Structure 1
Amino acid sequence: MPPFPASRFRQPLITWFRRHGRDLPWRRTRDPYAILVSEFMLQQTQVATVVPYYEHWLARFPDFASLARADESAVLHAWQGLGYYARARNLHAAAQSVAKNVGGVLPNDLAKIAALPGIGRYTAGAVATFAFDQAVPIVEANIARVLARLTNWEKPIDTAAGRDHLWSTASVLLPKKNGRLHNSALMELGALICLPRRPLCAQCPVQKFCAAVEPAALPRKRAKPRQVLLHESHAFALRRERILLEQSHARWRGMWILPRLAAVPPRSPLLQLDFPFTHHRITLSVFAATRSFLPNEKQRWFPIAQLAELPVPSPHRRALEELLPRQNLCSTFART
């Protein structure tokens, strides 16, 4: 635990945050729905990337009721480009649960928030503190880094012991009120000052409380599993300005992708591109469909002009954006 009074730590932190905290759109609201949307989007995605998606999403689905009524295809299309589509499905399921079970209004109750589909300890706490100003601890990547360095925690933080240490430390530092302000400041410190590789220790408002001997070496995590290399083959089939796509039932469930090929054709691909997915590195090879290529029941012909309306995962969208102009066809995937 920190060897100093928590109140002495909080005062300079809050003063710094009031002067230097960023003006982010989700900090201008206390709407539980908008805050929940931001929290789902910010998981594993940078703030700069999230801002336009967040604003576009709220314009299209302004509340729990509108999102609950939407079909999954529309939800996935609005999420297109953010990746990690399970987040969109979980957010959709949470909205449906709120609309069905609590009258469309998220209750000011941490346990009930945590009971929603796809919501873990951090997200429940974030909504409780940012929407309802509850004094509850939260630990995400930025806060974890700050707390690990503050306490010079040299063991991996992604173990049960590491997580217990971080959450306990967050609880000790937490004030009895103004949880929103405190947690925002702690998170912002990690985002702007206590950086992963080159922490700006000389600019840190709470440096005198930090026990880290080598800040840049912390936090530590367990060794990552070796990356698995995969190769996937897909067909590029055009007919009278229509393109053949199939609906995925696996990695990108519910989204439209180029048709899978069971075997690698004995010819050169039109295009190859690599992309990461969890602990995999996937090479996507796209081959021109031959005259003998036969569509199956999972596949459909779509007008090229309709592509912008379909949920298409980023790697396949990139492939289409490169291949369609070669056929003198529009490749625009404008978000609507």
Structure 2
Amino acid sequence: MIKVAPFRRRLLDWYDREARALPWRTPPRSGMRPDPYRVWLSEVMLQQTTVPHAMPYFLEFTRRWPTVETLTAAEDAEVMSAWAGLGYYARARNLLKTARAVAADHGGVFPDTEDGLLRLPGVGPYTAAAVAAIAFDRPANVVDGNVERVVARLHAVETPLPGAKPELKHLAGGLVAADRPGDWAQALMDLGATICRPRAPLCDRCPVAVDCEAFRQGEPDRYPLRLRKAARPRRYGTVWVLRDGQGRIGLMRRPPQGLLGGMLGLPTSEWLDAPVEAEPPIAAAWRAVGEVEHVFTHFHLTLRVMTAEGLADSLIWDEDAAGLPSVFLKAVRLTRPER
């Protein structure tokens, strides 16, 4: 059984010394409060990616849109393009819904409680808890993947994920207190990210190893237990890269709903369970240049890449493909003239 008070003291003392310097944070014990907008933006970005991957996106977003009001005024297509590479484009659409609700209904000021944040469109329980704790120092129970791993090892939880999630959240909640809740949430996250790593945890450097049941058992790598994931299905399609001879590429605006909704992309066929011949967007001397592979959350995608030169009024012509979703960037790179 963990003795909560000394456990918290050990972990917070470690955090005071070892806290990661991140652009959405303020240093522990500095007396400064973080900007709720930056905390919220970082948490949305980090839901499906790592800090190193998200960092350049965060810096670019906050350079272009430094406040919630400036983000509210942005064009949807601009935000979606800036989001390209972070995945889950529905989160980018929800980002705008949340920002516009904060601006329209709250005078540009984020609600400062977990319940108030939960009432915003596009804000779920995890994000509400994280923003409430980190930005407003509310004693909220913030449980991400890092925290789940730490808690599973501390208690040697034998229930495999994802079924263990309610138990892990309950156990994590028993460690929350009114004292420094924002620092506490970030200390647990940092412990999981830097010490209690998924593989080869650095138990010899852990400030709370003395409290850890998995460490006592000598097998911290065993936790958290996981059910074997089902294999992702594979889908197939064709993508067409049409160039106009002047360096521009023909693009289409994807439907607002569904995968990559609202994004600019290359013309593609439907993505089906088996390869099929598909009708190109215009008549041209199309030639096959190979295939690209891409992994989405729920399926693998194999796209046959076709390229040609031509013009079509139905397409949007763009010289810069840098803002395309990564699946389309792969196809563009495959058809570069210097190949």
TM superposition score normalised by structure 2: 0.87
Indicate which of 304, 318, 325 corresponds to 2:337.
Answer: 325
> CA offset at residue 290 of structure 1?
8.1
Establish whether residue 126 from structure 1 lines up as the match of residue 138 from structure 2. Answer: no
Unpaired stretches in structure 2, ≥5 consecutive residues: 27-32, 271-275, 280-285
Q: Specify the SS of the correspondent of 2:166.
A: helix
Following superposition, the deviation at residue 7 of structure 1 comes to 0.4
**2:110 aligned with 1:106, yes or no?**
yes
2:16 paired residue number: 18
2:298 corresponds, among 279, 303, 306, to 279
- Distance, in Å, in 1 between the alignment partners of 2:194 and 2:179 is 24
Structure 1 CA distance for aligned equivalents of residues 76 and 127 of structure 2:
22
Whether the aligned pair in 2 keeps the contact of 1:225 and 1:279 (CA below 8 Å) is no
Q: Secondary structure at the match of 1:325?
A: coil
d(CA) in 1 for partners of 2:254 and 2:267? 9
Shift of 1:268: 6.5
In structure 1, what is the Cα distance between the partners aligned to 2:331 and 2:2?
Answer: 55
Equivalent pairs, count: 316
1:257–1:271 Cα change, 3 Å: farther
Residues in 2 aligned to 1:307 and 1:183: alpha-carbon distance in whole angstroms: 39
Paired residues for 1:55-66 under 5 Å: 55-66=59-70
Structure 1 residues 303 and 24, CA, compared in 2 at 3 Å: closer, same or farther? closer
Aligned 1:9-158 pairs, distance under 5 A: 9-28=7-26, 30-158=34-162
Question: After superposition, what is the alpha-carbon deviation per residue over 1:76-130, rounded to whole angstroms, capped at 9, x for unaligned?
Answer: 1121222221221111110011111111111212111012222221111110011
| One-letter code aligned to 1:251 | L
User: Deviation string for 1:283-327 (max 9, x for gaps)?
Assistant: 121112488xx95x8x414142x445xx41112113213423338
Residue 258 of structure 1 corresponds to: 266
Q: Quick one: which amino acid aligns to residue 306 of structure 2?
A: F
C-alpha displacement of 1:230: 1.1
State the SS of the aligned residue for 1:191. Answer: helix
- Give 1:187's aligned residue: 189
Distance 1:4 1:147 in 2: 11
Partners in 2 of 1:229 and 1:164 — Cα distance?
A: 31
CA distance in 2, matches of 1:45, 1:171: 24
The Cα shift of 1:187 comes to: 1.0
1:261 Cα deviation (Å)? 3.7
State the match for 2:282 in structure 1.
none
Matches of 1:181 and 1:9 in 2, distance apart? 14
Partner of 1:332: none
Give the drift of 1:170: 1.4
Aligned counterpart, 2:29: none
Does the 8 A contact of 2:243 with 2:309 survive in 1?
Answer: no
Identity of aligned residues (%): 36
Q: Distance in 1 between matches of 2:89 and 2:128?
A: 20
Aligned residue for 1:244? 250
List, as ranges, runs of 4+ consecutive aligned residues in structure 1 with deviation greater than 2 Å. 261-269, 288-291, 324-327
Match for 2:227 among 216, 219, 222? Answer: 222
Indicate conservation of the 8 Å contact 1:226/1:279, yes or no.
Answer: no
For structure 1, list consecutive stretches of 5 or more residues without a partner in the other structure: 328-336
Let me know the Cα RMSD of the aligned residues: 2.2
